């Protein structure tokens, strides 16, 4: 009986922890306002530029506080053949500013480092204060775009991170989507964030 109580107590304590790691799941692609369909490929995008939106995907972290804009991209392949997205290039274009390439997750980790450089050995151990990188969170890495191929009838999603603030006059520009069999590049895709 005591073992059963201990087991139930352990299960009860792990359930909230398991709930924290719940994967982010986007809405169906048809529900997104900003999307384009061309040649059997539908691409939707949503800028997570508010605290409420950021909380849905990243919990307590709001990347916008650090001048990083997460943009969710969803690609649905309704063609009868797979598409290759491992060489996909994506840019955030703002009038008057120009094109901004996305920042890979590992580069985000390098944005915040120690507050003081390491000057070598000290005669006495002096504790150094270091800033914790806010992007060193499992959610940021796990939700980043990772798909390389999208099969027929399949959908892939993930976030791209841009070092900018969101404006409704901006747009996404995607290239580098290929047919694997022919190595032919599909058209470019442009998704405006305003109407």
Using the predicted structure, report yes or no on whether residue 130 has a pLDDT greater than 70. no
Sign of the dihedral through C-alpha 9, 13, 16, 21? negative
Question: For residue 3, is it within any domain?
Answer: no
Question: For residue 88, is it within any domain?
Answer: yes
Question: For residue 76, is it within any domain?
Answer: yes
Task: Decide: residue 36, CB within 10 A, 0-12 exposed, 13-18 middle, 19+ buried.
Answer: middle
Question: For residue 137, is it within any domain?
Answer: yes
CATH number for position 183: 2.60.40.1230
Total domains, the chain:
1
Task: Please give the order of strands across the beta sheet that includes 35-38.
Answer: 35-38, 41-47, 69-77, 155-162
At residue 110 the predicted structure's pLDDT band, cuts being 50, 70 and 90, is confident
Question: For residue 26, is it within any domain?
Answer: no
Question: For residue 171, is it within any domain?
Answer: yes
Of the candidate ranges 98-107, 116-125, 143-152, the one whose mean pLDDT is the lowest: 116-125
The per-residue pLDDT for 16 is: 38
At residue 158 the predicted structure's pLDDT band, cuts being 50, 70 and 90, is very high
At residue 3 the predicted structure's pLDDT band, cuts being 50, 70 and 90, is very low
Q: Which residues pair with residue 36 across a beta bridge? A: 43
Using the predicted structure, report yes or no on whether residue 129 has a pLDDT greater than 60. no
Question: For residue 19, is it within any domain?
Answer: no
Question: For residue 16, is it within any domain?
Answer: no
From 32, 24, 26, select the one nearest 58 (Cα to Cα).
Answer: 24
Q: Which domain holds residue 88?
A: 34-114+125-192
């Amino acid at each position: 009986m005591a073992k059963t109580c201990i087991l139930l107590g352990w299960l009860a304590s792990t359930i909230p922890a398991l709930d924290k790691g719940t994967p982010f799941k986007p809405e169906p692609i048809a529900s997104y306002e900003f999307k384009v369909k061309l040649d059997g490929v539908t691409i939707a995008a949503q800028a997570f530029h508010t605290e409420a939106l950021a909380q849905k995907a990243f919990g307590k972290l709001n990347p916008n506080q650090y001048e990083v804009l997460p943009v969710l991209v969803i690609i649905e392949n309704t063609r009868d053949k797979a598409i290759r997205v491992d060489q996909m290039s994506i840019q955030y274009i703002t009038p008057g500013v120009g094109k901004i390439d996305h920042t890979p997750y590992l580069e985000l980790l390098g944005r915040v480092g120690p507050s003081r450089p390491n000057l070598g050995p000290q005669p006495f151990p002096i504790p150094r204060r270091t800033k914790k990188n806010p992007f060193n969170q499992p959610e940021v890495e796990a939700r980043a775009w990772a798909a390389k191929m999208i099969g027929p009838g399949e959908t892939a999603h993930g976030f791209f991170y841009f070092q900018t603030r969101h404006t409704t006059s901006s747009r996404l520009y995607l290239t580098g989507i290929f047919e694997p069999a022919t190595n032919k590049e599909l058209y470019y895709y442009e998704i405006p964030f305003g109407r």
